[in-house]
Structure 1
């Protein structure tokens, strides 16, 4: 199962990074000890850091310059003889960021073959690295506006600071509502995506369907966190204004809905990624649907739907084929992985070529989607698949989900993203879990959030809540 683990930003380490840079005069151009550009002077080793094997598999399967992969997959050899060394540190307990930060602090002192060339980041903590001198302007690598012209704007905005883009990605991650066809037929009398969408087109309608589902013995959602991203991606302003955390009204709408769903039995009281949540997506599940972005459907939901995880991915194995997707009450996105070039890399030409081929090449992007059903970051390629009358996902009962993703991707707005997003999103969900369970009242949950967030970010002075 593909798990998107998002842990807390280490603010003290980020501060050390900034101070270190100030002391050594770091800049996007790299250190004096870096080798000159050009394939002839390139390092013999290309070091790539990530937290799981997703990018590694994309690289090994689709980068045209791959010659061979070692049996243990720890290295990949390119056609020019360059050896790609993979450093994969799982992100449990912030392990990935902590080890990456330590390595970046030592980047200038590292030998040529030990320097980090590429590292991967997620949206929730992207600004921590984008707003530092440890990431390079991709234009300095040679990527042009024309190269990036088919990418979705929000994927560029997330890794842009003061007009400088410091990363690029092969994927876009718009979200949809994935529902069980059989349950929809029982509750609504239809499993047709357009008719189901009409039934859940806004939150009032969604809540009404939850009541109907409950009457039939089903849960509308699995747990507390399932709808969170749909609300948090549609806030009116960033989390922090100056030194004040301002909780958006839309976040409190999530709190109110989740408390109602919990009290009335419309959810199963699970949390994202726990065993009960995963089980709710499988053959024994009684949950109407799940909010998922692109990667979640073709990786996590598909895997959880199978009765035999090692068996064929086909109708007859669990509830494969019983899911479909619709837009849901609000557009949103969830997740995504960006490729950053580390300042000091001695393989600039190779890094640029990887970025161009694996995030800008239309044919490669299209093939990734055709092979994996993942949604890639190229508008023209996705439109071709969306408009193909013969394309359909067997997992989704033959539905062309790319068409819906293409419509949703254009609606994503990242103008309210900020560097405190990860911590605020995680702490608010954690603080209100006890409230949903009835262990504390709402005022206590608010106080617990205030305490947690000011401890995490000591520079923030207070929290303001929306008036009722």
Structure 2
């Protein structure tokens, strides 16, 4: 998941895919998914064969394959990584489907595009029906994550092994110097409302004489406010600008104009480099951010308890990766075995959490690890105990098939607004014009 940037998929490609599969999806699905026999349980070594697997993350995907083949040594997994840069991964999926090319037996979708994939004709198999019966294993998952992997008719098409609520990560030495404490509970209380958070940012500016910015970028605020919306970008075929979006716009302008954030863009090289520095205090940190935002960029503080995680004044979640089986795969048994291994094998999930630092999507494991007393050495906190109280706040309804492109359109105009190039009204006007241009079937007011 490292990088998890919102990426843009070309509408022309989607139009081709929709046309290519219109009218024939139901018949193909019954033919390919409605298998009469159930898969039989075997010893790990008795599973034999070969599958293909497409992923967008070059760091995570080889580890998934290695873990699987360690348990199932006689199954060969052919991995292809298509980086999620300039919509390459999404285009590869949609174009291969449209052209009738060789699709992988298993492929994944990041949170910004998974709703598009689960609703794309001919893409993911219906996992709700036999022989998959995914609703059974889904009972052990956080319900919102299951809902995100459902298509519009309610069928499970994809499952995730992660849960991704977020907090606010901070550098403890800066907290001690300017706030007199680095205790996560006390820091959480100091920033328990958006207003308190703003006052805290102003205090840091005053006490540090402007040398230390509170947030590393405007997107730290964006992740918090976006994740706390009631409605996603599209509702009932209409572009919806949730009130939290407007609150974010105003708050981001305040932070920028008063010099309370760096002005850098999230994921840019200066932003990543600054994680190891002392110029910025706080970052939006979801569950996966411990390893993939902090630890991979801050070697000098890693394993030394020099970071902390405070509760966000507004609950939010950010990211996640869903896996599904290709609807016409000729290796459905092995493909499903692969998906189940990552999303339902408790022993492997526990090991994965230990090795990779992920927050796993299994309620029994979450309860077990939250009370285990184990701590992450970089943060000197138990991530499961930190993030577990936020699980009920995850709103699966926020996820739509339009998320990556609409968010990109918003971000482009938001950057211009904060740079003083356009007014707030013009920002919204240009944003809506872009959405209307990209999605003529959406109602945009």
Assess same fold via TM > 0.5. Answer: yes
**1:301 corresponding residue in structure 2:** 294
Q: Residues 208 and 344 of structure 1: is their aligned pair in 2 closer, same or farther, counting only changes over 3 Å?
A: same
Which of 434, 447, 458 aligns to 2:440? It is 458
**2:18 corresponding residue in structure 1:** 18
Alignment partners' CA distance in 2, 1:429 and 1:115: 32
- Tell me whether 1:202 sits opposite 2:193 in the alignment: yes
**2:375 corresponding residue in structure 1:** 392
Q: Pairwise mapping of residues 238-257 of structure 1 onto structure 2 (< 5 A)?
A: 238-257=232-251
TM-fit CA distance, 1:349: 0.8
Q: Residues 105 and 55 of structure 1: is their aligned pair in 2 closer, same or farther, counting only changes over 3 Å?
A: farther
Q: Residues 106 and 146 of structure 1: is their aligned pair in 2 closer, same or farther, counting only changes over 3 Å?
A: same
- Tell me whether 1:160 sits opposite 2:150 in the alignment: yes
Q: Pairwise mapping of residues 220-231 of structure 1 onto structure 2 (< 5 A)?
A: 220-231=214-225
Residues 250-292 of structure 1: CA distance to partner in whole angstroms, max 9, x if unpaired?
101111111111111101101110112112211x232121011
Q: Residues 56 and 238 of structure 1: is their aligned pair in 2 closer, same or farther, counting only changes over 3 Å?
A: closer
Alignment partners' CA distance in 1, 2:238 and 2:145: 27
Matched residue count: 431
Secondary structure of the corresponding residue to residue 138 of structure 1: coil
- Tell me whether 1:236 sits opposite 2:230 in the alignment: yes
Q: Residues 236 and 119 of structure 1: is their aligned pair in 2 closer, same or farther, counting only changes over 3 Å?
A: same
Which of 365, 368, 373 aligns to 1:381? It is 365
**2:167 corresponding residue in structure 1:** 176
- Tell me whether 1:103 sits opposite 2:104 in the alignment: no
TM-fit CA distance, 1:29: 3.9
Contact 2:135 2:156 in 1 (8 A): no
**1:447 corresponding residue in structure 2:** 429
**2:203 corresponding residue in structure 1:** 212
TM-fit CA distance, 1:30: 5.2
TM-fit CA distance, 1:307: 4.8
Alignment partners' CA distance in 2, 1:90 and 1:101: 15
Which of 125, 128, 141 aligns to 1:139? It is 128
TM-fit CA distance, 1:31: 5.1
- Tell me whether 1:437 sits opposite 2:419 in the alignment: yes
Alignment partners' CA distance in 2, 1:196 and 1:454: 43
Which of 30, 35, 50 aligns to 1:45? It is 50
Which of 244, 264, 267 aligns to 1:270? It is 264
Contact 1:178 1:291 in 2 (8 A): yes
TM-fit CA distance, 1:240: 2.6
Quote the RMSD (CA, aligned, Å). 2.4
**1:185 corresponding residue in structure 2:** 176
Residues 284-331 of structure 1: CA distance to partner in whole angstroms, max 9, x if unpaired?
2321210111112212211211259xxxx543xxxxx31110211111
Alignment partners' CA distance in 1, 2:327 and 2:193: 45
TM-fit CA distance, 1:43: 9.4
Contact 1:29 1:136 in 2 (8 A): no
- Tell me whether 1:150 sits opposite 2:140 in the alignment: yes
TM-score (norm 2): 0.90
TM-fit CA distance, 1:370: 1.8
Secondary structure of the corresponding residue to residue 215 of structure 2: coil
Alignment partners' CA distance in 2, 1:92 and 1:144: 31
Contact 1:176 1:325 in 2 (8 A): yes
TM-fit CA distance, 1:23: 5.1
**1:72 corresponding residue in structure 2:** none
TM-fit CA distance, 1:5: 2.4
Contact 1:225 1:272 in 2 (8 A): yes
Alignment partners' CA distance in 2, 1:404 and 1:29: 44
TM-fit CA distance, 1:49: 0.9
Contact 1:45 1:85 in 2 (8 A): yes
Secondary structure of the corresponding residue to residue 407 of structure 2: helix
Residues 17-71 of structure 1: CA distance to partner in whole angstroms, max 9, x if unpaired?
2221125455334559x9x99799x9953111111134423423432x447xxxx
Residues 93-150 of structure 1: CA distance to partner in whole angstroms, max 9, x if unpaired?
101111111222244xx5xxx4420111011111211112321111334234332221
Mind listing any 5+ residue stretches in structure 1 that lack a counterpart? 68-77, 316-320, 464-468
Residues 189-243 of structure 1: CA distance to partner in whole angstroms, max 9, x if unpaired?
1111111100111101101100111112221101121111211122232323445
Mind listing any 5+ residue stretches in structure 2 that lack a counterpart? none
Q: Residues 136 and 31 of structure 1: is their aligned pair in 2 closer, same or farther, counting only changes over 3 Å?
A: closer
Alignment partners' CA distance in 2, 1:335 and 1:51: 14
